[in-house]
């Protein structure tokens, strides 16, 4: 099998394996390390934020992996070649595209800081030792939302952002990206059209398009409208079953119910 096409083979065989770094995750050292490790482990696709610096860090790791592939195989790793590089874009507000924030000056001195303990990305810090900053480390936060309900004083909020289609699409797609994941939701068709119009001129270079849409009323009709809009599509299409966005849940109540 040609190493250039092994991700497509994985899709057809039903064992597609994608690393999701996070649509809002911009910690460059972590993105580089994760990309390198999962590429050597045999990932078919690396999904990163639509940020030129993040894309560059991932591409650097992919380049390094090409020099380590032979040794990785000898050690029994699953390395098959260069995985596809995917970026995530959104057509409207979406929990994948947000950052937590709060004013640490408002935090009581005796607060047990449950937010700091629960953060899986170590994105919340308070002035101690080597850290001279208190609050959310923006590059580390990927918007999981775990900190929101645990704050005893409800001081934490989120800041959402939406991709600027005609500004971001050419910049990202001219950077050697292989695939795109579009996050949308029922009712967002005008916004999806605007984003798609910015992406369409670059479609010929895409190896894959993924569309993520959470469950909701009139979902099937909405997906049919999207399907008509993006035709003809020169690459494979994945409908991503995102049962409860950002939940990390793989249980029967989540994706299985959505399917």
Residue 171 or 73, more confident: 73
Residue 114 or 81, more confident: 114
pLDDT score of 70? 87
Residue 221 pLDDT exceeds 60: yes
Mean pLDDT of 126-151: 85
- Nearest CA-CA partner of 43 in 70, 6, 71, 76: 6
Adjacent-strand bridge partners of 90 = 183
249: confidence class by pLDDT, cuts 50, 70, 90: very low
pLDDT score of 160? 85
Contact between 246 and 183 under an 8 Å Cβ cutoff? The reply is no
Mean pLDDT of 198-203: 88
Q: What angle do CA 84, 90, 94 make, to 5 degrees?
A: 120
Question: Over the stretch 12-41, which tens digit does the pLDDT of each residue have?
Answer: 888 899 999 988 899 999 999 999 999 999
3-state secondary structure of 211: strand
At the second CATH level, the architecture of 100-160 is: 2-Layer Sandwich (3.30)
pLDDT score of 165? 74
Cα gap 55→50, rounded to integer Å = 7
Domain-wise residue ranges, the chain: 3-95+162-258, 100-160
Residue 103 or 163, more confident: 103
Rounded percentage of the chain residues whose pLDDT exceeds 70: 90
Q: Residue 232, preceding bond cis, omega within 30 degrees? A: yes
**Which of 21-25, 52-56, 159-163 is least confident?**
159-163
3-state secondary structure of 69: helix
Residue 93 pLDDT exceeds 80: no
Contact between 239 and 209 under an 8 Å Cβ cutoff? The reply is no
Identify the residue whose tokens are 């609050």.
Answer: 135
Q: Could you list the beta-strand ranges (E) of the chain.
A: 18-20, 45-49, 84-90, 98-101, 124-125, 135-136, 157-160, 179-183, 208-212, 237-240
pLDDT score of 129? 55
Residue 245 pLDDT exceeds 80: no
Rounded percentage of the chain residues whose pLDDT exceeds 90: 54
196: confidence class by pLDDT, cuts 50, 70, 90: very high
Sign of CA dihedral 39, 179, 214, 257: negative
| Residue 184: other Cβ atoms inside 10 A | 23
- Beta strands 135-136 and 98-101 are unpaired
Cα gap 91→196, rounded to integer Å = 9
Class of domain 3-95+162-258 as given by CATH = alpha beta
Token pair for residue 52? Answer: 């030129």
Alpha helices, DSSP H, located in 139-184: 147-150, 165-173
Token pair for residue 139? Answer: 């590059």
């Amino acid at each position: 099998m040609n190493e250039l096409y092994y991700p497509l083979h994985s899709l057809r065989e039903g064992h597609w394996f994608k690393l999701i770094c996070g649509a809002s995750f911009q910690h460059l050292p972590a993105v580089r390390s994760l990309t390198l490790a999962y590429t050597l482990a045999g990932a078919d696709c690396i999904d990163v934020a639509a940020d030129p610096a993040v894309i560059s860090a991932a591409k650097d790791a992919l380049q390094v992996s090409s020099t380590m592939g032979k040794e990785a195989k000898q050690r029994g790793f699953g390395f098959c070649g260069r995985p596809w590089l995917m970026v995530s874009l959104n057509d409207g507000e979406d929990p994948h595209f947000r950052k937590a924030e709060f004013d640490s000056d408002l935090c009581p001195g005796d607060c047990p800081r449950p937010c700091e303990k629960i953060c899986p990305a170590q994105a919340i810090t308070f002035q101690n030792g080597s850290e001279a900053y208190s609050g959310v480390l923006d590059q580390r936060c990927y918007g999981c939302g775990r900190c929101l309900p645990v704050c005893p004083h409800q001081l934490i909020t989120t800041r959402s952002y939406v991709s600027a289609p005609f500004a971001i699409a050419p910049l990202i797609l001219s950077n050697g990206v292989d695939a795109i994941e579009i996050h949308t939701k029922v009712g967002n068709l005008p916004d999806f059209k605007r984003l798609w119009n910015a992406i369409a001129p670059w479609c010929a270079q895409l190896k894959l398009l993924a569309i993520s849409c959470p469950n909701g009323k009139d979902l099937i009709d909405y997906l049919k409208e999207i399907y008509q809009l993006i035709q003809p599509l020169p690459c494979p299409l994945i409908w991503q079953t995102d049962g409860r966005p950002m939940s990390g849940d793989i249980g029967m109540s989540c994706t299985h119910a959505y399917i």
